[in-house]
Amino acid sequence: MSSALPTDPHFPDTTLHRLPNTEYQRMKVVVKETLEKFYTTVWPADEIHDDRSREMLTMVACEPTSEDVDPWQIFLGKHTAIKIVPLPTNLGIIRIVLFTLPFEQQNFKLRLRICQKESLDFEMFYFSYDEMVRLLNNHYRSLGLYLQPYGLYLAVEEVGVAEQSTFQDIYTNLTSSLPKALQFLGLQKPIGFEKESKLFKWTTSGNFNTSNIGECSGGAGDMIKRFSDIWYRDNMNQFQDRAISTRRSVREEAFRFFPDSEIIYSTKIIKWAIKMLPPICDKDAVSSLSAQVEALNLTTGSEEGAGNGLLAGESDDTH
């Protein structure tokens, strides 16, 4: 029997339910079979292998079988959608759709991620194991590293977060290759976790150790709170002898590991300087900065460097 959940902010007039594991697994089969009629690749997000009840199912799909596929309408024939809410990205491309579906007279939430084939590996990693990537980002935030569904990014410290800054101003794409990202972070590719405690240990097994690893950032979810309040408190002794990484040391290592990243990073600093120039300024100064940007772009062969892809300007923290 399912249990009612608090009202979801995306569906304020609808009571959602948490399904027991057996019903949840049955729901997953039904949804996957439905989606496979419309998408060549359909992948249910990996989960911790336990019997917990769940309130949301996450699916990643790519390569629609026809140009007319509309993820808003897929389930309307077989199920009655209570409400459908899009979460648009910075680029205005709708890539996530949330459905509330009646399942045995109960409302259940499905998060459907429609992605590009070339970013499938990273998307699958990003949406696996509940808040796993949010937990990693919580570990790495003071080092300037940021995982997104389409790559690993490094914050440009000289730009920082300002009212005028955009995601593209602040972040340099280090790689859109999941194997390279995990190699740089010093993490093995996750292959199943029987317990949440094993996932917690995995997230701390990488190359970089931060002084704030046991802290919660604002808006932290339940998994991050369990890590900070329980697991880290019980295991904090194992971190005492580990060297603390700094933002500078991580940046220098990133420049060594990803050869083009230093030039792209420097380009963003110069572009930011141009952006922040007053409306009335020395034209020679603008020309000089613009020439430096052009020279750096010619060195890398593109504005954002190798492997940055279509989605470089997007920001998607949707867990």
Domain boundary among 236, 259, 282: 259
* Residue 156 included in any domain: yes
Range of the domain at 137: 131-259
88 with 142, same domain: the answer is no
61 with 175, same domain: the answer is no
Q: How far apart are CA 172 and CA 194, in angstroms?
A: 35
137 with 242, same domain: the answer is yes
pLDDT of residue 217: 67
* Residue 61 included in any domain: yes
pLDDT of residue 312: 34
Domain boundary among 259, 282, 307: 259
Q: Rg of the chain's alpha carbons, rounded to an integer?
A: 22
* Residue 278 included in any domain: no
- Measured in whole angstroms, how far is the alpha carbon of residue 122 from the centre of its chain? 9
- Measured in whole angstroms, how far is the alpha carbon of residue 80 from the centre of its chain? 30
The tens digit of pLDDT for each residue in 106-143 reads 667 778 888 888 888 999 999 888 789 999 999 998 99
Using alpha carbons, list the distances in angstroms from residue 76 to 80, 99, 100.
5, 10, 11
214 with 170, same domain: the answer is yes
* Residue 62 included in any domain: yes
* Residue 143 included in any domain: yes
141 with 251, same domain: the answer is yes
Region of 80 on the Ramachandran plot (φ > 0 left; ψ -120 to 50 alpha; else beta): beta
pLDDT of residue 208: 92
156 with 221, same domain: the answer is yes
* Residue 52 included in any domain: yes
Phi and psi at residue 223, to the nearest 5°: -65, -45
pLDDT of residue 199: 92
The token pair that represents 17 in the structure block: 């339910």
Q: How far apart are CA 301 and CA 116, in angstroms?
A: 23
Q: Looking at beta carbons, which pairs linking 116-119 to residues 24 or more positions away fall under 8 Å? A: 116/62, 116/310, 116/311, 117/41, 117/62, 117/63, 118/176, 118/309, 119/149, 119/150, 119/151, 119/176, 119/309, 119/311
37 exposure class (CB count in 10 Å sphere: 0-12, 13-18, 19+):
exposed
235 with 138, same domain: the answer is yes
The token pair that represents 140 in the structure block: 């790495």
pLDDT of residue 176: 93
Q: How far apart are CA 279 and CA 61, in angstroms?
A: 46
- Yes or no: say if 53 and 24 are a contact pair by the CB < 8 Å rule: yes
* Residue 275 included in any domain: no
Phi and psi at residue 152, to the nearest 5°: -105, 130
* Residue 317 included in any domain: no
105 with 136, same domain: the answer is no
Q: Considering only CA atoms, which of 198, 216, 199 is closest in space to residue 139? A: 216
The tens digit of pLDDT for each residue in 225-246 reads 899 889 988 988 888 778 889 9
Q: What is the CATH number of the domain that holds 95?
A: 3.30.460.10
Q: pTM score, two decimals?
A: 0.77
> Which residues in the chain land under pLDDT 70?
1-16, 71-107, 161-162, 217-220, 278-319
Q: Considering only CA atoms, which of 186, 121, 118, 181 is closest in space to residue 147? A: 181
pLDDT of residue 27: 81
165 with 196, same domain: the answer is yes
pLDDT of residue 301: 52
**How many domains would you assign to the chain?**
2
